[in-house]
Amino acid sequence: MSEKIRIADLPEFDITEHLEDDQAIAEYLTIVLEENDPALLAAAMGDIARARGMTEIAKASGIAREALYKALRPESQPRFDTINRVCHALGVKLVAQRIEAA
């Protein structure tokens, strides 16, 4: 008989451990953007900022670190200006594509 694994014994998944390079970050953001969920986008950008270093991203974006934490939490609805500044600090850009007919 195989040994049962308890959920409580599994390690907690942390996406920031997998955002090691620009390609992984771009792919993650692309997947999140396809979900059309502003809260998920804010949370994902928070994940990426934590992976890169929140203090570094705060400095590069010109947004106070505490304000950045607040703006990029899952339940927030950050302004486009905030998203744009964080994207610039992360070295990524949002790209518009035509929606293909289903």
**At 42, is the secondary structure helix, strand, or coil?**
helix
Residue 97, in any domain of the structure: no
Residue 35, in any domain of the structure: yes
> pLDDT band for position 68 (50/70/90)?
very high
Q: In this model, does residue 65 exceed pLDDT 90?
A: yes
Residue 80, in any domain of the structure: yes
**Short-list 87, 80, 43, 39, CA closest to 61:** 87
Residue 8, in any domain of the structure: no
Confirm if 45 and 86 have CB atoms less than 8 A apart. Answer: yes
Cα–Cα distance, 15 to 49 (Å, whole number):
11
> pLDDT band for position 94 (50/70/90)?
confident
Residue 11, in any domain of the structure: no
Taking the model in full, what pTM does it have? 0.79
- H helix and E strand count, the chain: 5, 0
- Mean pLDDT along residues 84-91: 92
Residue 99, in any domain of the structure: no
Q: Which domain holds residue 55?
A: 20-90
Q: In this model, does residue 22 exceed pLDDT 90?
A: no
Residue 14, in any domain of the structure: no
Query: What's the domain count of the chain?
Result: 1
Cα–Cα distance, 75 to 41 (Å, whole number):
10
Please name the residues in contact with 18: beta carbons below 8 A apart, sequence gap of 6 or more: 24
Cα–Cα distance, 77 to 99 (Å, whole number):
24
Q: In this model, does residue 61 exceed pLDDT 70?
A: yes
Residue 40, in any domain of the structure: yes
